[in-house]
Chain A
Amino acid sequence: MITFDHLSKEYNGVYAVNDLNLEIPGGEIFGLLGPNGAGKSTTILMLTGLIEPTAGRCLIDGVEVAKNPIEVKHRIGYMPEDVGFYTNLSASENLDFFARLYGLDTSARKSRIDELLSLVNLDGVEKLVGGYSKGMRQRLGIAKALLNDPAVIILDEPTANLDPQGVADYRRIIKQMAADGKTVLVSSHILSEVSLVCTSIGGVLSQGGKLVAQGTWKDLTRVLEGEQVKILVETRSSMPEFSHPDLVSAEYSNEHHEAVITARSDIRDDIADALRKADVMIRQLTLDRSTLEQAVLSYYNTGDEQQ
């Protein structure tokens, strides 16, 4: 379990992370979203003990990171965005070096490394890491993050360089980890990926490091869009203009055969009634839930305009 308790980080009077309060229970895949400079990486660096917070604290399974960094590092697995390895060593040699830091004995190291290289499809690759593609390094990064069988897995842009097969493998691995009760924190710009993988909870950091929304990704979409829904209507004949207390706007097109209705609630039943009374045959009457990507982009654009 990850806990952020009034966590803040300040650089020269500017907040990179500002009073972050969040709790991520075990078994969750949490997506940390936000534009560049929103404080995602700073949050992760504080969580991994690489930098210290200006105020507040973060805890892994109740252990405070800043006070017990070594204990916390035994419990976490971390893959940074630009994952770097020793280019003069092979994948298994790299993993063996990192595994020694956890105090694993020779046989435990060998079996764990073989298992993980097989998991990320790098078994049998004997060449030095210097000859690896970015995607192969990222696969190795995922294996490294799982080396100590951590309770908490922290991944920064995990699919940035992966091919489709790599992405599929990554999704499978991450979902299995969550099913095993591990906490997974994913920071990503690829919002569609977050909406697919982070089925449980999402979060958005704004410029200035404030958490602005939190919940399931469907909740998040609704919050960011301001609790509005879009309804797509298509009729066989021209439809009458529609009025309703919850109606926000209606755009009619194709000589009133189609309409996009924005409302504060799901008013499809009322629309259907109105059309039936007007003797208009309905071809389509569906709810258009925006994707997370659209919602977040819409939120960022609004934020930019406000600034």
Chain B
Amino acid sequence: MKSNGLPVIAQKELRDHFKSKKFLLIFGIFLIITIIGMVSGVAEYNKNLQQYNDRQSVADDDEYNMGGFGWGGKPSIMTIYLGVSGLIITLGAILGIAMGFDLISKEKETKSLKILLSHPIYRDEVINGKALGGLMALAIALGITFIVTFAILLISGIVPEGDELSKILVYGGAAFLMILSYFALSLFMSTVANDSGKALVYTLVIFVALMSLPMLVNGR
């Protein structure tokens, strides 16, 4: 006999995330800080572009111009995104952790897991459904964020070229995978830990260790 637990649970989880104050609050902060970072990055980019153009016009007048060598090339749009990457990594990881750390443990605490499992579904469908719902919520959240950042670029008169657009998409994909990894990690901790508090502590310990790793490597 077939079970339709996976899509039903995934739909519920997706709806729950977008009704959750916790998710909306962290996503709101994430979006606002990204917008502020983008606006500031666009201003910096425009300044650098102006300096580049000024240098170009001086170089054009100079018969002994160095062809841009030693003056720096044209600023890339990616510098705007790389400027907010630290914020995206930190806040994105927090968003992923906040979404996942109590998904299973809360069900244990509120005794709803037992009642859920007494229905015609398999155990793995509960975890996979929750993971799928979280993945969709994260994809929508990051999709909205990147549409907003792209709109900021266009409003500022910056139109990415083909290769720049593909770099932005790769950057967005990498950011999504990073946030998804933290979500998956916190979901795993929520499954193995006895309660949500422990799941959160275990995930934060790993988060801090991973965030410290580049500093430790660079320090050598």
State the 9 A-B residue pairs at the shortest beta-carbon distance, nearest first. Answer: A84-B111, A84-B112, A73-B120, A78-B118, A101-B119, A100-B8, A71-B1, A84-B110, A70-B120
B32 at the interface (CB under 8 A from A): no
A102-B114 contact, Cβ under 8 Å, with A71-B1, A74-B1, A88-B16: no
A144 touching B115, Cβ below 8 Å: yes
B5 at the interface (CB under 8 A from A): yes
Residues of A within 8 A of B118 (CB): 48-50, 73, 76, 78, 80
A86 at the interface (CB under 8 A from B): yes
B119 touching A98, Cβ below 8 Å: yes
A101-B110 contact, Cβ under 8 Å, with A50-B117, A73-B118, A88-B16: no
- Residue of chain B at shortest CB distance from A97: B12
A83 at the interface (CB under 8 A from B): yes
A70-B122 contact, Cβ under 8 Å, with A80-B114, A84-B115: yes
- Residue of chain B at shortest CB distance from A154: B118
A101-B121 contact, Cβ under 8 Å, with A68-B1, A70-B3, A84-B110: yes
- Per-residue B-contact encoding for A135-158, CB less than 8 Å = 1, 0 else: 000000100100000000000000
B115 touching A87, Cβ below 8 Å: no
Chain A CB within 10 Å, residue with most, of B4, B111, B115, B121: B115
A88 touching B19, Cβ below 8 Å: yes
CB proximity of A241 to chain B, nearest CB, Å: 59
CB proximity of A231 to chain B, nearest CB, Å: 48
Residues of B84-136 whose CB lies within 8 A of A: 107, 110-122
Residues of A within 8 A of B117 (CB): 50
Question: Chain B interface (Cβ within 8 Å of chain A)?
Answer: 1-5, 8, 12, 16, 19-20, 107, 110-122
Number of interface residues, chain A, beta carbon within 8 A: 27
Residues of B within 8 A of A78 (CB): 115, 118
A103-B4 contact, Cβ under 8 Å, with A70-B120, A70-B122, A73-B118: yes
Residues of B within 8 A of A83 (CB): 111, 115
- Cα–Cα distance between A144 and B114 once the two chains are bound (Å): 13
- Cα–Cα distance between A300 and B16 once the two chains are bound (Å): 48
- Cα–Cα distance between A68 and B12 once the two chains are bound (Å): 26
- Cα–Cα distance between A146 and B169 once the two chains are bound (Å): 50
A101 touching B16, Cβ below 8 Å: no
Given contact pairs A80-B115, A80-B118, enumerate 9 new A-B contacts (beta carbons under 8 Å): A68-B1, A70-B1, A73-B121, A84-B111, A98-B116, A101-B5, A101-B8, A102-B119, A141-B115
- Cα–Cα distance between A304 and B66 once the two chains are bound (Å): 100
- Residue of chain A at shortest CB distance from B108: A84
